[in-house]
Structure 1
Amino acid sequence: MGARMSADQHADVNIELNEIGHASGPVLERLACPLRFVLATGASLGNQGDEMEQGRTVLAPIVARNPNLAISAKVASNHTAILRKDHFAVARAVREVAAAGVRTVD
């Protein structure tokens, strides 16, 4: 779908994703099941300088407050290539979640 979207539509989607990401902090802090992140560190189309890294910094304090959350890996690819180039890191994160198990709430 991305190739069929206009520049304005891409911008709207990115703005909305940033808003969702910002609002997800309280949800992540309360998450009671294991969750692992694989962070892409490569440059992304449309971002300038270290904008992506600045965005990722908000994750560190949330991970520090919730023991169910962890950063499994930081990889060199960007977010559009992470599954193709860093699938081993993603698979390792999935295995970490499986090993952590899921607590049930009664």
Structure 2
Amino acid sequence: MSIHAFRMQLKPGVVDEYRKRHDEIWPELSALLTESGIHDYSIFLDEATLALFAVLKLAEPNTRDALPDHPVMKRWWDHMAPLMEVEDNNRPKEWSLPLIFHHD
């Protein structure tokens, strides 16, 4: 199991809607993430900058790299695109965060 962290960016005025959509996460998306090897996935918000900080645990082996091609993931990205900074295909822009310190 490895730990991965990355940053994403919300657009102004959408925090409540972003939270609502995640509170109502689609069961098929939740199942897809688990089946792909993603566990203990959390997203934190910096309210001052609207930066989102995501942390997840990834099982080995996993199929995380196949997620961008999955129809459920594409549909989720389309659903979330109005709220976030995204790439041309509506994938959220991600900035990887290297691990500096970990205490077990």
| TM-score normalised by structure 2 residue count | 0.29
| TM-score normalised by structure 1 residue count | 0.29
Q: Which is richer in strand?
A: 2
Higher relative contact order (CA 8 A, sep 6+): 2
Q: Which is richer in helix?
A: 1
